[in-house]
Structure 1
Amino acid sequence: MMYMNPRMVGCGERTLVLSHGYGGSHAIWDRVLPHLALTNMVLLFDWDFSCADEAAAAAEERYTFARYADELAAVMDEMGVSGAVYVGHSMAGMIGCIASVKRPDLFTHLVLVGASPRYINSDDYEGGFDEPDIHAMLATISSDFLSWANGFVPLIAGGDPSTVETLAGSFFAMDPRVAHALARMVFLGDNRDVLDRVAVPCTLVHASGDFAAPPCVGAYMADCLGKRRRAAAAAMVTVDSVGHFPQLVAPDEMLRVLDLVLANAADDEEPADQAAAGKEGSSSGLAIAAEVDVKGDIDVAS
Structure 2
Amino acid sequence: MDTICRSYGREGIAKALNANVYGNGTQALVLAHGFGSDQTEWHYLVPYFAYFFKVVVFDWFSLRMYLNTAGYNGGFERWEVDEIFKEMGENFTSWVQSFVPSAIGVNSTSAISEFGHSLGRMNPKIALSVAKTVFLSDLRTLLPQVLHPSTIIQSEKDRIVPESVAFYMKSKLGGHANVNILKTQGHLPQLTAYPLLLEVLKSVLHINK
Q: Tell whether the structures are fold-level matches, with TM greater than 0.5.
A: yes
Q: Once superposed, which parts of structure 1, at least 4 consecutive aligned residues long, lie more than 2 Å away?
A: none
Candidates 9, 13, 18, aligned match of 2:31: 18
Distance 2:166 2:188 in 1: 15
Query: What's the TM-score, normalizing by structure 1?
Result: 0.61
Task: Report how many aligned residue pairs link the two structures.
Answer: 193
Candidates 60, 70, 74, aligned match of 1:127: 74
| Residues 1:181 and 2:162 aligned together | no
Distance 2:128 2:29 in 1: 30
| Residues 1:253 and 2:196 aligned together | yes
Distance 1:167 1:125 in 2: 28
| Residues 1:236 and 2:179 aligned together | yes
Equivalent in the alignment of 1:155: 102
SS in 2 for 1:43: strand
Distance 1:42 1:122 in 2: 37
Deviations 1:28-61 (CA, angstroms, capped at 9, x unpaired): 10111111111111011122xxxxxxxxxxxxxx
Deviations 1:54-85 (CA, angstroms, capped at 9, x unpaired): xxxxxxxxxxxxxxxxxxxxxxxxxxxxxxxx
Contact 2:39–2:58 under 8 Å retained in 1 = yes
Deviations 1:196-234 (CA, angstroms, capped at 9, x unpaired): 111222111111111111111000001101xx24xxx11
SS in 1 for 2:55: strand
Distance 2:120 2:46 in 1: 24
Gaps of 5+ in 1: 48-90, 95-116, 265-302
Deviation at 1:160, TM superposition (A): 1.3
Deviations 1:237-283 (CA, angstroms, capped at 9, x unpaired): 1011111001111111101111111118xxxxxxxxxxxxxxxxxxx
Candidates 41, 44, 53, aligned match of 1:40: 53
Distance 2:165 2:88 in 1: 24
Taking the TM superposition and a 5 Å limit, the aligned residue runs for 1:73-92 are: 92=62
Distance 2:103 2:140 in 1: 23
Distance 2:89 2:183 in 1: 34
- The share of aligned pairs that are identical, in percent, is 32
| Residues 1:30 and 2:43 aligned together | yes
SS in 2 for 1:263: coil
Distance 1:178 1:150 in 2: 18
| Residues 1:200 and 2:148 aligned together | yes
Gaps of 5+ in 2: 1-12
What letter is aligned with 1:142? G
Query: What's the TM-score, normalizing by structure 2?
Result: 0.88
Distance 2:49 2:86 in 1: 40
RMSD: 1.4
